[in-house]
Amino acid sequence: MRALTWHGKHDVRMDTVPDPEIMNPRDAIIEVSSTAICGSDLHLFDGVIPGMVPGDILGHEFMGRVVEVGSASTLKKGQRVVVPFVISCGKCFFCERQLFAACDNSNPAEKQDLSEPLYGHAMSGLFGYSHLTGGYPGGQAEFVRVPFSDVGPIVVPDGLDDDQVLFLSDILPTGWMAAKNAEIEPGDTVAVWGCGPVGLFAIQSAFLQGAGKVIAIDEYPGRLALAKGLGADVIDFTQTRVREALMEMSGGMGPDAVIDAVGMESHGWAPDAIMDNLKQKIGIGADSAHALRQAIICVRKGGRVSIPGVYGGYLDKFPLGAVMEKGLQIRTGQTNVHKYLGELLHRIGEGEIDTTFLISHRLPLEDAVRGYQNFRYNQNEWTKVVLKPGTEVRA
Ligand SMILES: NC(=O)c1ccc[n+]([C@@H]2O[C@H](COP(=O)([O-])OP(=O)(O)OC[C@H]3O[C@@H](n4cnc5c(N)ncnc54)[C@H](O)[C@@H]3O)[C@@H](O)[C@H]2O)c1
Ligand SMILES: [Zn+2]
Ligand SMILES: [Zn+2]
């Protein structure tokens, strides 16, 4: 089959690779109909997440038809499913508590040593996201093996097209959980750093969860315009002093809750950002966290800090003093996708949530390399790329 594979920093390629096979009774094989490129994939593209091996198949946002099932799968051939990017067994201590992204059974034993020394505990399995998370082949491919297929995939009705449901795999529940973690109370002012797909869904979710005002921060006019379209007030951080603007827009108090939807590759020219970026470039520090530091400094006393953005290493210059002295709460984590699927699918079906407004480009899977390059280097215009296996590349 054809698949998008990683070969090093800024080097991804379309390759012909072996088709996946059923390995365990709970597996299913999915023929991918749509798959997307995520901001998390850019961290792999940029080489800032360790544990990648040349030839790894990327992709963790995908959906398609079931074409093969193991003897213990509850899926049926022909069903149309969306697959969570987090791989969860459904039965361990963590899955039973709906902490699906902390599943203890999905990262194979021989891979657990990679993340345990780093974090104290092994990470759970994720599709297409380095050997730290199990080294599972991802879904930017024609076919993909889905372990624990009796737990993860959600069957979607044919009445909803791919663009409406594809993002249930990751960024929609991620934006939703980001807002949940911000513990929004009716009328709250919520500030969101980053107007990529995760930030945009966090803005939409914050309003649905009762925010009175949402303030979105980014530098790209195209992305800020999408945030404005959702009803957010916007700040271009290259033109405006963010803290001063936020204070003014929140009655001099600071936002009640802040959401960092930027993660470990924050841009900017503040001294801490320059230091972080330099260290990241020479490989002696994984996280560039200017946006997170700024969010912590800006949030009001007693406020909530929600971090959907991905971080990987040992951050320095962390403003713990502000966290302590202002009495802040911080919540973060890979998304417990499975927990939110039912409710979000229902809201999509009812027309309460539109997932299609942020798709800027639909490309054939064969054009995936162009998709990565533009999603990385033309972020203003390329907000979200959906790849379609089996469609022709136009000359
Ligand atoms: N927690 C999870 O399970 C989960 C799931 C999906 C994605 N993520 C993470 O969420 C983050 C965002 O994902 P995305 O797909 O939206 O990525 P993206 O790269 O498309 O968007 C990031 C946005 O942040 C903006 N930005 C950069 N520096 C900034 C700053 N200093 N202030 C304000 N904005 C700034 C960029 O201009 C860009 O628009 C990534 O770190 C991604 O890995 C986490
Ligand atoms: Zn993702
Ligand atoms: Zn589990």
Q: Residue 380 corresponds to which amino acid?
A: N
Q: Tokens 């502000």 label which residue?
A: 322
Contacts of 230 (CB under 8 A, 6+ apart): 200, 203, 204, 207, 214
Residue 79 CA, ligand 2 centroid: distance in Å: 23
Q: Residue 321 corresponds to which amino acid?
A: G
Q: Is the CB of 215 under 6 A from ligand 1?
A: no
Distance from C-alpha of 292 to C-alpha of 1, rounded to nearest angstrom: 41
What is the C-alpha radius of gyration for the chain, rounded to an integer number of angstroms? 20
Among the listed residues 179, 81, 222, the one whose alpha carbon sits nearest the alpha carbon of residue 139: 81
Query: What helix, strand, coil percent values describe the chain, rounded to 5?
Result: 35, 20, 45
Q: Is the CB of 371 under 6 A from ligand 1?
A: no
Query: For residue 129, what are its two tokens?
Result: 């996201």
DSSP label of 169: G
Residue with the smallest CA separation from ligand 1 atom 42 is 40
- The rounded percent of the chain whose pLDDT value lies above 90 is 90
Q: Is the CB of 310 under 6 A from ligand 1?
A: yes
Q: Please compute the mean of the pLDDT values over residues 226-233 and round it to a whole number.
A: 98
* Residue 379 Cα: closest atom of ligand 1: 39
Look at residue 329 and tell me whether its pLDDT is greater than 60. yes
Contacts of 328 (CB under 8 A, 6+ apart): 296, 299, 302, 303, 304, 305, 322
Residue with the smallest CA separation from ligand 1 atom 36 is 194
Is residue 293 very low, low, confident or very high in pLDDT (cuts 50, 70, 90)? Answer: very high
Mode of pairing for the β-strands spanning 28-37 and 257-260 = unpaired
H-state helical runs in 120-188: 162-165, 171-181
Look at residue 269 and tell me whether its pLDDT is greater than 80. yes
C-alpha distances (whole Å) from 111 to each of 35, 75, 117, 371 are 26, 28, 12, 30
Q: Is the CB of 353 under 6 A from ligand 1?
A: no
Counting ligands in written order, the one closest to the CA of 102 is 3
Counting ligands in written order, the one closest to the CA of 124 is 3
Q: Is the CB of 171 under 6 A from ligand 1?
A: yes
Residue 45 has phi, psi (to 5 degrees) of: -55, -40
Q: Please compute the mean of the pLDDT values over residues 78-85 and round it to a whole number.
A: 98
Look at residue 285 and tell me whether its pLDDT is greater than 90. no
- Whether the full predicted model's pTM is greater than 0.85, yes or no, is yes
Mode of pairing for the β-strands spanning 329-332 and 233-236 = unpaired
Q: Which of 3-17, 266-280, 294-308 has the lowest mean pLDDT?
A: 266-280
User: For residue range 25-47, what is the model confidence (pLDDT) as tens digits?
Assistant: 999 999 999 999 999 999 999 99
* Residue 262 Cα: closest atom of ligand 1: 24
Query: For residue 317, what are its two tokens?
Result: 């210059």
- The rounded percent of the chain whose pLDDT value lies above 70 is 99
Distance from C-alpha of 345 to C-alpha of 338, rounded to nearest angstrom: 11
Question: 233 forms bridges with which residues in the sheet?
Answer: 215
